Structures are given as structure tokens and as C-alpha cells.
Amino acid sequence: MGQPSDRADQAPGRDSRRAPCRDRRRAERQADRPALGSGRLSRRDGLGRGERPANGALRRVPARGGARAVPPRSGRDRPPAAPAHRRAAVARDGRGRRPRGAVLQRRETAAERLGPDRRRRPAPALGDSEERGRSDRPRADRRPAGAPGAIRDADRRDRAPSLRSLRLGSVPALRVKEIYRSIQGESTREGWPCVFVRTSGCDIRCSYCDEPQAFSGGDLLEIDVVLARVAGLGTRMVELTGGEPLLQKAVPELVRQLCDAGYTVLIETGGHHDISVLDPRAHAIVDVKTPGSGMVARNDLGNLTRLRAGDELKFVLRDRADYDWAVQLIRAHRLENRVPVNLSPVHGVLDPRDLAGWIQEDGLWVRLNLQVHKYVWGAETKGV
């Protein structure tokens, strides 16, 4: 028997049988696909996948099967182009594929893309109108007809500054709830005609407060307008009350100008703001908060050392416990020998006859202070 021939020579292997078919299919695909070259619309030319030249013309690319036109893709089936900073993140080949071994680069942050001149800056402090893009200073064109100097909140764009900005002193005006003429109902000047300027806003909440409507609202008035309204009411005495007048930085300037005009000026304050900012010609009436008010922790007892001649103290009392607390403070600081001290019962809560009896029993040199206006016009009547 002869020598057996090699198996590969007798029967071709599996790969050998399929090689002609595979080569034929590959050749067909290559004929249908344009070859890479300088004429191909690719990312090497600075165009995104499927993008069209600026002149809109079709470009001819060489192909093994002959030259043919390559139309651009329509907008419907065109994939969205990647952002420029993402396209440049890594090096890519002509088909937009990332070559093996390519290293990702760090992407820019939003602040770096904006540049140093357009980065977000921290907001300036409230009330600092020079650093803000818009000044809060009142303008004449903001005054509504019929109310010279008034600036209301009707238009959001011209919204009046907040009480915080007024405390910071950025606005030469103050919030005023009402200005009216009546009879002085408290203090040693009780019974005299007086003009009351009631300011808006208060940063404490006393349990017996009888003017809660002054917590908010009111008109933003320039100092000149307040002076004109006071002069039009024709009295020699003016009292600033609230609310809390010393909450607004324009009040000391208003007090100074009222004193310059020859008025007797009273300022009724809650005693938790420094009274030394007031003109020495004015008279502070400091309402020391008792435990029954719920605000005793807010007292600035340093004001007891800042009292001047003509100033007064007032204690509003709900019960005997408030009275005993006030007596202890009065005697500890010998207040009755320095300024007039007024003890005032909460209207409708503490009987004035009980308070009068306690004062006489203890032999205090203090004054029983009744709110006369409430007995004349009634406790519910406002603006008197």
C-alpha cells in the first residue's frame, strides 16, 4: 500500500473552505464603503459626525468601486453633535473612535469656562447699596400721587427697603405707621397736647402689647416729609413711639432735626437698644421689661447708666410678682433718686387701686402711671 497523503492535501480544512466566501463578502463591503482619505467628511476636517460643509455642496470621495457622491445625513436621523469641550477631551482617530491607550484629560469646570471676569461673586451684605447693582435710595419718581415723599410696596420692582436695611442705615428715611395729634396719656407730661409719630417694626413681642398693628406695614417717609407733617399739626411736643423707634437708624437724625426746630421731643423705647445715640436735648422714656412681659431677657440694663436729666423709666406690671421684681431693681440701682420712675398697670389686668396700695405700703418715691387716653376714648380706640 502506498504512503498516505497529508490530510490537509486530501481534504481542505474548515477555514480553507470558507476563505473564498469570506474574502468575497469583505470585498463587497469594501466596495460599498468609501475609503478613508483627504476627501472624506470626518472629524479630521473639523466637522462633526454627519455634518455638512458650509457651502452645502456634495463632496466626492474615492472608493474601490469608483467615485460616488456622499450626501449629508438628514436632520431627522442625524445624531446630536457632542459639545466642543467633550469632543476635545481625548484624542480620536478619523472615524471618531478612541484609540487604545488614550488618556482622558481633566474637563474644565463651569467656572473655568466662564473665565475669571464672569465667575459668580458672593452677594454683598444687605443694605450696602454701593456694592449692589441698584441703590435703595428713595427717588422722587417713586412717590405715588397725592402722597409726597411716600414710597409704598405696590410695585415689586420699587419695593421699599426692609427694616433690616433701615437698621443698617443705608436709607435716609424711616417706616412710619401713623402720624396723629392727641393728648399725652403717659409719663410726667401726661395731659399735654402732643403729636405722635408711630414707627413700624418691633423686634420683641411683649405679652401685653397694645399696638401689634405696628409690627409691620406703614409708609417709607423721608425725614423732610415727617417734619412737614409734624409742623402741619401745630404742637410744641412730639413723641416717637412704635413699634420700636430705635430699630431704625434714621430716627436719631429725625430727633436731632426736631430738636433743632424747637420741639420738646420724647422717645418711648423698649429699653433693649442703646439710648446714647439720641440727641441729649431729647427725653427718653425707657420701658423696662418685667417678667410678665416675657421679654425680660432682652433688657439692656446698661441703659440704666446712660440715663440723663429729663429721661424717665417705666415699668408695665401684670401682677404682684412684676411689682416685686421692679421694686428690687429700683432699690438696687437707686433709680428713684435719679430719674422719674413710672409704674403702670396693664389695662384691664391689674387693678390700679391694688398698685396704688402697694406703692403706699412700701413708701416708694415712684409715680402711678395710668394710660389716660384709654380712659378718655376707650381701650380699643386707635389713633388717639
Q: Are 199 and 175 in contact (CB under 8 A)?
A: yes
Task: Please name the amino acid found at residue 274.
Answer: D
Q: Name the pLDDT band for 261 (thresholds 50, 70, 90).
A: very high
Q: Is the peptide bond before 243 cis (omega within 30 degrees of 0)?
A: yes
**Sole residue written with cell 450626501:** 71
Alpha-carbon distances of 142 from 67, 155, 163, 329, rounded to whole Å: 74, 10, 18, 49
Worst-scoring range by mean pLDDT, 37-51, 72-86, 170-184, 319-333?
37-51
Asked whether the beta carbons of 179 and 230 are under 8 A apart, the reply is yes
> What mean pLDDT do residues 288-292 have?
95
Residue 30's identity, in one-letter code, is Q
Q: Which of 19-33, 147-161, 166-180, 204-218 is predicted with the least confidence, judged by mean pLDDT?
A: 147-161
User: What type of residue is 101?
Assistant: G
Checking if the pLDDT of 148 tops 70, the result is: no
278, pLDDT greater than 90:
yes
Residue 363 has a pLDDT of: 94
**Across residues 234-247, what is the average pLDDT?**
94
Q: Hey, what's the cell of 5?
A: 497523503
Grid coordinates belonging to 208: 401685653
Minimum mean pLDDT among 141-145, 172-176, 322-326: which range? 141-145
Exposure letters 90-128 (e unless 16+ CB within 10 A, then b): eebeeeeeeeeeeeeeeeeeeeeeeeeeeeeeeeeeebe
Please give the distance of CA 132 from its chain centroid, rounded to a whole number: 13
Stretch 141-155: mean pLDDT: 41
pLDDT of amino acid 381? 74
Q: Mean pLDDT throughout 312-323?
A: 97
pLDDT at residue number 384: 65
Helix (H/G/I), strand (E/B), else coil: 331:
helix
How many CA atoms does the CB half-sphere of 47 hold within 13 Å? 14
Is residue 177 predicted with pLDDT exceeding 90?
A: yes
- Average confidence score pLDDT of the chain: 74
Lowest mean pLDDT among 117-121, 151-155, 220-224: 151-155
Q: Label residue 301 by pLDDT band (50, 70, 90).
A: very high
CA 363 from centroid of its chain's CA atoms:
52
pLDDT at 245: 95
Residues 329-369 pLDDT 10s: 999 999 999 999 999 999 989 999 999 999 999 999 999 99
Which of the pair, 358 or 150, is modelled with greater confidence?
A: 358
pTM over 0.85: no
pLDDT bracket for residue 378 (50, 70, 90): confident
For residue 106, give every residue at least 6 positions away whose Cβ sits within 8 Å of its Cβ, in sequence order, or none. none
Is 20 exposed, middle or buried, given 0-12, 13-18 or 19+ CB atoms closer than 10 A? Answer: exposed
Contacts of 130 (CB under 8 A, 6+ apart): none
Name which of 113-127, 151-165, 341-355, 369-383 the model is least confident about: 151-165
Q: What is the CATH number of domain 142-377?
A: 3.20.20.70
* Closest-CA residue to 254 (of 235, 286, 233, 229): 229
Most confident listed range (25-39, 168-182, 213-227): 213-227
Determine if residue 218 is left, alpha or beta; phi over 0 gives left, psi from -120 to 50 gives alpha, anything else beta.
left
Which of 23-37, 95-109, 159-173, 331-345 shows the lowest per-residue confidence on average (mean pLDDT)?
159-173
Q: Please tell me the predicted confidence (pLDDT) of residue 155.
A: 37
What is the β-pairing status of strands 59-61 and 68-70?
A: antiparallel
Whether the per-residue pLDDT at 153 is higher than 50: the answer is no
